[in-house]
Homo-oligomer: A and B are copies of this chain.
Amino acid sequence: MYIDNVSSTTILEKTDPNPPKSWRQWLIGRPLQTADAPHQTISKTIGLAVFASDALSSTGYATQEIMMTLALAGAGMGAMSYVGPISIAIILLMVIVSISYQQTIHAYPGGGGAYIVARDNLGELPAQTAGAALLTDYILTVAVSISSGVAQIISAFPLLEPYKVIMAVVMVLMIMLINLRGVKESGRVFAIPTYFFVVCMFITVIVGLVRYFTGSLGTVVNPPEFDFATTMGSVTPFLLLHAFASGTSALTGIEAISNGITAFREPRSKNAGITLVWMSAILGTLFLGISFLAGTIAAVPSESETIISQLARTALGGQGLPYLLTIGATAVILLMAANTAFADFPRLGALHAGDGFLPRQLTFRGSRLVYSWGIAALGIIASLLIIVFQASVTRLIPLYAIGVFLSFTLSQTGMARRWWKSGHLKIDEKIVEPGSTIVHERHWMVKMMINGFGAVCTFIVMLVFAVTKFLDGAWIIILLVPVMVSVFFTIHHHYKSLAQKLSLENYSSRPSTVRNRVILLVSGVHRGTLNALDYARTLGPDVTALHVSVDHIEAEKVRDKWNTYGEGVRLVILDSPYRLLVEPVLGYIEKINAIRQPNEMMTIVVPQFIPSHWWENLLHNQTALILRFALLFKPNIVIVEVPYQV
C-alpha cells in the first residue's frame, strides 16, 4: 500500500500477483515485478563482459580495415608498413577519449551518455543530434559485429560462404531474444566467452611476438588472393588519413560504459570508471599487437579470410585446435559485441522517449523489465541492414564510426561547458540539471582543458572521416542524422502541443452536457436489434431508430415489426435510391448535427453481430466499422457497437 492517505472516493486494488502463463513466458522467461528492478545490477567483472565486448571485439576488424583501405587504393603491399604508425595514432586518440570519459563517469553517476551530457549543458538540438548519431551507430555496431563474426567463421569453414547473410540474420534475432530475457542473465551468458576471447587473443599475440623475436614466425602460408581490382596509386596524405579513419572503428563502443553506469553495483561511478580503465588497456594492447604482427607476417586483407584468421594460423602453427579455439572466441566476442548495442540502444531510446522525442512506447518496460520495443526495433533494423549490405564488413564500415565521433565531440564539448559553469559558481552555489547537479570544483580548469582537448581531437577525426569516406557511404549518415533530428522534433512538437491542449490549466467554467441524443441503426428487426434497443434506452430518453431503405418491401417489413416490437420508439426510414448504406446515415447525422445545441452529445448505437468464427465476418457487412472511420473526426459524436453473441 503505497498510497497512505486514500480518499473516500478512491479504492486501491492489487491485481493478481501471478500473471498468466503464455508462449511468451516460455520464450523470454517468467515476468518480473517492477519492485524487482533495483536488484538487476551487475558487478565489474560482468560489467566488463557486457559493456566492453563492443570495444574489444573491434580488434577483430579494425586492423583489417586499415590494411583494406591501403590495399584498395592500390598503394601496394609496401604501404602496409604504415599500419603500425596509424595504429599508434589511433591508440593515442583512444587514450584521450578514455580520459575524457573517465571524467564524465564521475560527474554523471546516473548515466552520462552523450545525450544526457549534451542535453544538460548544450541544449536540446545538440542533445538530439548526439542521440541520433548514437542510435544509428548502435544499429551499425550490430550489423558490423555480426558480419565480422560471420566472416571469422567463414575463414575457418569456407563452405559456409553462401549462407553468410542468413547466418548473420539468425544470429541477430538470437541475440535479440536473449536480451528480451533481461540484462542480468545475458550478462552471465556473455561473461565466460568474453574472458575466453581475451585469453585466446593474448596467447596468440604473445606466441606471435615470441616467435617473431626468436625468428621462427615467418609469413602467411597460402595467403588469400587480394580480391578487388584496383588501379595502381601511391601513398598520399589523403590515403593515410583514409586508412586512419577506417581504423577509428576500433574506438566504437568505448562510450558504452558511460551510458550504462546505472547497471553497475554501488558505488556505481567508481566501478564503472575502473571497468573503463581495464577495457582501454586490454583494447590498446591487443590492437597494437595485432597490427604489428599482421604487418610482420605479410597478411593480405580479403573478404574470404580475415586477418585474425591469417594471424592465428601463422602464429599458432596451422589450423589445429588452438587456431580453431581462437577463431571461435573471436567470432563469439563479435556476436557479444552486438549485445552491447542491445543493452544501450533501448536505454538511449527510452531517454529520448521520456523527453518526448520518440514514441512513448519505448519507455515501457516489458514483462522482463527490459525496454522490449527498443530491443525489437534494433533487431529488426540491423537485420535489414545486414541483408541490404550482404553482411560485408568492408561495405558497412564507411557508415560506421562517424556517428560515434559526432557524439564524442558533443559529449566532450558539453563536459567542457560544464566545468566552465562549475568554475564560475561560488562554493555554496549549485545548478541542478536533470542529469546531475553542478557544484564548484577545485580543478575545473584542468578538467575543462582535458575535455576541451578531447572535443577538438574527436571533431577533427570526425571531419577526416566525413571527407575521406564521404563517397564510400558516409554521406548516408551525414544525410540521415539531420533527418532523424527533425523527426525527433516533429514528435516532440506533437507531444508538447497535445499536452497543452489536454492541460487542465485555465479549465474551470466547464458547461456540463445537457442531453444525449441516441440514434439506433436498424437494418432489420431481430433479437440483436432488440438487444441493442434495450441498451439504447438505458442511455437516455431521446432514442431514434434509423433504417436505411434500399428495398421498399424490406422497409415495409421493418416498419410493421417495429410497430410490434419497437416499444414506441420513433423510427425514421431513409430512402436510399442509390442503394448506399453509410452515406444516408451520414447525411442524416449531419442534418441533426446542424441544429444541435452546444454540449449536446450524439450517440450512434450499432447492433453488432458477433459470429462464433472469425471467417463468418466475411459473410456480413461491416457497417459499424465504416461508420466509425467516417465519423472519427466529428466532435461530440460517439459510436457504440452493442455486441450480440450467437
Contact = CB atoms under 8 A, between A and B. Distances in A.
A570 to B, nearest CB: 5
Given A3-B573, A504-B565, A361 B15 contact: no
B360 A494 contact: no
Contacts of A367: 578-580
Contact of A566 (B9, B12, B526, B571): B9
A214 interface: no
B619 A359 contact: yes
A198 B559 CA distance: 54
A135 to B, nearest CB: 17
Q: Nearest 5 pairs between A and B by C-beta?
A: A502-B526, A33-B577, A516-B538, A15-B584, A501-B646
A540 B203 CA distance: 78
Contact of A526 (B503, B555, B572, B574): B503
Given A504-B526, A534-B512, A535-B638, A610 B633 contact: yes
A609 interface: yes
A264 interface: no
A500 to B, nearest CB: 9
Given A3-B556, A513-B537, A619-B495, A574 B527 contact: no
Contact of A643 (B365, B526, B539, B637): B637
A7 interface: yes
Contacts of A365: 579
Interface of A: 2-3, 6-7, 9-17, 19-20, 31-35, 359-361, 364-367, 491, 494-495, 497-498, 501-504, 507, 510, 512-513, 515-516, 525-528, 530, 534-535, 537-540, 550, 552, 555-556, 559, 561-563, 565-566, 568-580, 583-584, 587-588, 601, 603, 609-611, 616, 618-621, 632-633, 635, 637-643, 645-646
Given A3-B555, A510-B530, A574 B13 contact: yes
Nearest to A632: B610
Given A510-B530, A638-B642, A579 B502 contact: no
Contact of A588 (B13, B526, B570): B13
Nearest to A569: B9
Count chain B CB atoms within 10 A of each CB in A498, A565, A639 and give the residue with the most. A498
A637 B610 CA distance: 12
Given A9-B571, A15-B583, A638 B643 contact: yes
A515 B12 CA distance: 25
Contacts of A570: 9-11
B573 A17 contact: no
Given A10-B572, A16-B587, 9 more contacts: A9-B568, A12-B573, A15-B583, A17-B577, A31-B578, A34-B577, A367-B580, A498-B611, A637-B643
